[in-house]
Each structure stands twice: as C-alpha cells, then as structure tokens.
Amino acid sequence: MYPPAAAAAPGGIVPHGVGSASKVSAVLLNRSVATQMVAVSWHGAGFRYMETADPRQENSVEPAPKATADRVEVQVPPGAIVTLTNVELAKVSEDFYRA
C-alpha cells in the first residue's frame, strides 16, 4: 500500500510509503535547497505523528497535521526527512544513555 500522491511529489522530494491495513508510514526526503509543500493522500491512513529530522535542528515529533478528505499537507524544509505515521512511536528508556 503506497500513498498515491507521493508518486507525483514536487521537485526535490523523494517519497516512500509502507504499511499494512492498520499501520502506515510515509517518509518524505527533501533533496532540494528550498522548502517544499507536499500533499500526501492515503485513504484511511489516519496519520497521528509527524517526525522531522533536519540538519539544522534536533529531531522533533509533533501531532500530524489534520487531514482533509484523507489528504495531509506538510512543509518539508531543505535537507529534511519528514515521517508521517499512525504507529505509536517508541519511547527511549531511561537507561539508554548510560554507558
């Protein structure tokens, strides 16, 4: 199951989608030097989280933008990877940073 709108993404965006009937993720990589506005249409995806990995700031996780008719619009900064998902994101255990 792939998001149909991802195949026609604007310049610089490299999309990829994976999923099953209930767990889906769309990954957008912006290889251009300009911020891109991308619309992802994926019937029934119900994205809950948006994670942004960017060379200029720490990774951030926030609620996904609200969908309109199964369509979510996101801004992808230059060089960033944006992941939209409805999968519960794992929490880092407290002893993760211990040597």
**Residue 17: CA count within 13 A, CB half-sphere:** 22
CA 70 to chain centre: 15
Which pTM was predicted? 0.75
Per domain, the residue ranges of the chain are 4-71
- Closest-CA residue to 79 (of 11, 33, 28): 33
Q: Print pLDDT tens along the chain (99 aa).
A: 344 444 445 566 666 666 666 788 889 999 889 999 998 888 888 899 999 999 887 888 999 999 888 889 999 999 999 999 988 876 666 666 665
The SS3 call for residue 31 is coil
